[in-house]
A = this chain, B = another copy of it.
Amino acid sequence: MLATGDPGGSDPRAAMPPVPPLLLACRRRPVPHTPVWFMRQAGRSLPEYRAARGSGAILEAISDPALAAELTLQPVRRYGVDAAILFSDIVVPLHAIGFGVTVEPGRGPVVAQPFTSRADLARLRPFVPEEDAPYVAEAAALVVRELGPGVPLIGFAGAPFTVASYLVEGGPSRTFARVKALMHSDPALWHALVGRLADIAAASLGAQVHAGASVVQLFDSWAGVLSPSEYERFALAATRRVFEAVRALGVPGIVFGVGTGELLPLMAQAGAQVVGVDWRVPLDAARRRVGPDHAVQGNLDPAVCLAPWEVVADEARDVLRRAGSAPGHVFNLGHGVLPETDPGVLCALVELVHAEGRAGTTPR
């Protein structure tokens, strides 16, 4: 029994390292403590990040495996979080296949020639990670070697709708008018576009998992601009296509977007084990919406982390209380860490979650 390494065995810890809490929570299994990590934990809030990163372009930093690995590891060392997430960007594959995407500081992804017509499909050739962006897997491998088996690495990609929104709008948008006009005006072209982006995301996630990532998150950050009907008609199928590929990789998946309160029941159908929730939806309501077959991730408001510690602690406890006692809660913020966040607050937050989180915890 021990030789099989079955974690359900009588004393598997004698034979193999324990399964990390994040992986247990994603599978809705009992955990020794509620796992916690922070979206954008590798970022400008850390002085060591600003020192190591310098002032170069972000896509250059990402393409330097040693630097990307170092930036990925910094928050694990500083905060004691339960996972690393690869320092990268959702537009890396598009940049790598030559679509003409850059990332402007303070603005975000910008596309020189936006996607406007069927002819642009030719610019979306398949993404071959080992040829187009080998540095991603190299960085992942460096991170995994450093972390060892105790702390998982999260790989990630942009969801088809969200990536498409950048390609069609040409950059960040407030209204998403062009992307919505395209999906409603030419659904066939739209589905061809997001189908290709699904394959690109799947290829990227596959490379990261092969390099050692043991969880993946699909960022559908802007899905919340869609009505439920639009999400169902124009985003869900392509998202599902990504998670079908992830299922074959054998790792759990997380799907996340902001402003998705109305979409949570649909997002739960996308094939991910975990549904990420922003701070707008109380986590007890979110759990009801995604149903008992899914874990949830979230959802402290990142802006609350700028308040005095007593407020942060109160709000974090409210998240833990609403997460309930059933297994399947990954603590996180409801969106990325804000650059002005005090790292000390995030350290204290990790301690609080580890000490007080109780969703699926085994008796201590």
Find out whether the CB atom of B261 lies under 8 angstroms from the CB atom of A184.
Answer: no
Say which residue of B177, B228, B301 sits within 8 Å of A303 (CB atoms).
B177
Of B177, B227, B280, B285, which one neighbours A340 at CB under 8 angstroms?
B177
Nearest neighbor of A108 in chain B, beta-carbon distance: B174
CA distance A163 to B54 in the complex (A): 37
Interface status of A302 (Cβ within 8 A of chain B): yes
How far does the alpha carbon of A262 sit from the alpha carbon of B284 in the complex, in Å?
13
A80 at the interface (CB under 8 A from B): no
Complex: chain B residue closest to A173, CB-CB:
B303
- B303 and A181 contact, CB distance less than 8 A: yes
Closest approach, in angstroms, between the C-beta of A339 and any C-beta of chain B? 9
In chain A between 285 and 324, which residues have their CB closer than 8 angstroms to a CB of chain B? 285, 301-304, 306-308, 311, 318
**A180, B262: Cβ atoms closer than 8 Å:** no
Residue-wise interface mask of A (325-359) relative to B, using a CB-CB cutoff of 8 A (1 in contact, 0 not): 00000000000001010000000000000000000
Given A262-B282, A318-B229, also A307-B184 (CB < 8 A) = yes
Interface residues of A in 176-211 (CB under 8 A from B): 176-177, 180-181, 184-185
Q: For residue A180, which residues in chain B have a CB less than 8 angstroms away from its CB?
A: 301, 303-304, 306-307
CB atoms of A185 and B282 under 8 A apart: no
Given contacts A177-B303, A259-B259, contact A227 B280 (CB under 8 A): yes
A10 within 8 A of B: no
Partner of A184, one of B184, B302, B308: B308
Q: Which residues of B lie under 8 Å from residue A340 when comparing CB positions? A: 177
Instruction: With both chains docked as a complex, state the minimum distance between the C-beta of A312 and any C-beta of chain B, in angstroms.
Output: 9
A148: min CB distance to chain B, Å: 35
Closest-CB distance, A337 to chain B (whole angstroms):
11
Q: Is the CB of B229 within 8 A of A306?
A: no
Q: Provide the residues of chain B in CB contact with A227, threshold 8 Å.
A: 279-280, 282, 301
Q: How far is the CB of A169 from chain B (nearest CB, A)?
A: 11
CB of A55 closer than 8 Å to a CB of B: no
A224 on interface, CB distance cutoff 8 Å: yes
